[in-house]
Amino acid sequence: MRIKDIAKLAGVSPATVSRVMNNNGYVKEDKRKAVLEVIEAVDYQPNEIAKSLKSQKSRMIGVIVPKISTETASRVVAGVTHVAKTAGYQVLIANTNLDIEEEIKYLKFLSNKSVDGIIMMGTEVTDRHLEVMNKLTIPIVILGQKVSGYTSIIHNDYDASYQMTEYLINQGHKAIGFIGVDEKDYAVGVLRKKGYLDCLSDYNLNGSDGLIAIGDFDIDTGFKMMKKILAKSQPTAVFAVTDHLAIGAIHALLDQGYRVPEDISVVGIGDIKLAEYLNPPLTTMHYTFKTSGQMAAEAVFDLIENNAHKGEQLMTSFQLKERRSVKHL
């Protein structure tokens, strides 16, 4: 059913149908009514693709995520779809499974006007990314990493990490272990580590090598890194940079016969949904991933529709969730 058919049925021209559908231009009341009736009767739905070709806008945005099945990513996407809906946009998901080539491929592919804007949830942003991003003609916002020159939504990783470390110190801990990730992920790998190190140093504490272990993002890494730390040192608390890592660490501890938090305390960052249902309930920093997604979406729409200033850096808040995985010494 095309606009032409509706026009014929209503006894008007296609242009008139278009005018009533889009509520612009003058249309006499009786014709408008006639058109509306036909539209109603046949449940006419305009062809969005044709509209896109004409208007050079697709009313779609692309979201590039490293791994959709992750709680973080799905919360972000929930936030994005939420504001996209009220703005009348559709969202296209590109799941890259952390493959940089895939990310770049999608960056290019999505750009040929097949979407009006892009939100990229970044882990690592390389020069290759930048090169492609610089050629993009559509707005892009980066979520999770700070990229100068591009609008970014970032989590306050440094402060969150610093404050978490400080919290542990305030609870009387001095030997604080650290489980981190590779520095290729600047936000998580570098910033969270720096927050920890700086805080330690500010309190004249020592982050010796034996207390620090670096690995991947998964629970199993948390498990292994915890054992590695235990082999070299005797922390009273361990700060894992993600909740999953913390869960792995707790299990390693339990496995070695330690009690948490009685013998060793453990904290994470992120506040996954189940954090409070863990045993012990995990003390962690609550991150507002859904809100980040919303902010990112609002930022792209602002860029798309209002030609907003590109390059703004928005920072989301975090909040300490004190639960029961830390012992006050």
Q: How far is the CB of 137 from a second copy (least distance, A)?
A: 10
Chain centre to alpha carbon of residue 265: 28
Q: Does 48 bind a second copy (CB under 8 A)?
A: yes
CB closer to DNA out of 47 and 279: 47
Look at residue 67 and give the partner it binds from a second copy, DNA, none, a contact being a CB closer than 5 to 8 Å depending on partner kind. a second copy
Residue 41 interacts with DNA (CB under 7 A)?
no
Nearer to DNA, 105 or 290 (CB): 105
Q: How far is the CB of 56 from a second copy (least distance, A)?
A: 9
Which segment (26-34, 124-132, 173-181, 223-231) binds DNA by CB under 7 A? Answer: 26-34
Q: Helices then strands (H, E): number in the chain?
A: 12, 12
| Whole-angstrom distance, CA of residue 304 vs CA of residue 269 | 33
**Does 55 interact with DNA (rule: CB under 7 A)?**
yes
| Minimal distance, residue 48 CB to DNA, in Å | 8
Interface with DNA, residue 137, by CB under 7 A: no
Q: Does 108 bind DNA (CB under 7 A)?
A: no
- Rounded to whole angstroms, the Cα distance separating 254 from 223 reads 10
The answer to whether 70 and 63 have CB atoms below 8 angstroms apart is no
Encoding tokens for residue 93?
């998901």
> Which tokens hold the place of 290?
């859904």
What is the closest distance, in whole angstroms, from the C-beta atom of residue 35 to DNA in the complex?
Answer: 9
- Minimum gap (Å) between residue 8 Cβ and DNA: 10
How far apart are the C-alpha atoms of 224 and 116, rounded to whole Å? 44
Comparing CA positions, the residue from 154, 109, 98, 108 lying closest to residue 131 is 108
Instruction: Let me know how long the chain is.
Output: 329
Kindly write out the interface string for residues 259-298 of this chain, putting x where it contacts a second copy by CB under 8 A and - elsewhere.
---------------x--xxx----------x--------
Three-state DSSP at 66 gives coil
Token look-up 């020159």 returns 149
Find where tokens 């604080």 sit. 176
Which of 1-9, 165-173, 192-200, 261-269 is the region at the interface with DNA (rule: CB under 7 A)? 1-9
| Complex with DNA: residue 28 or 85, whichever CB lies closer | 28
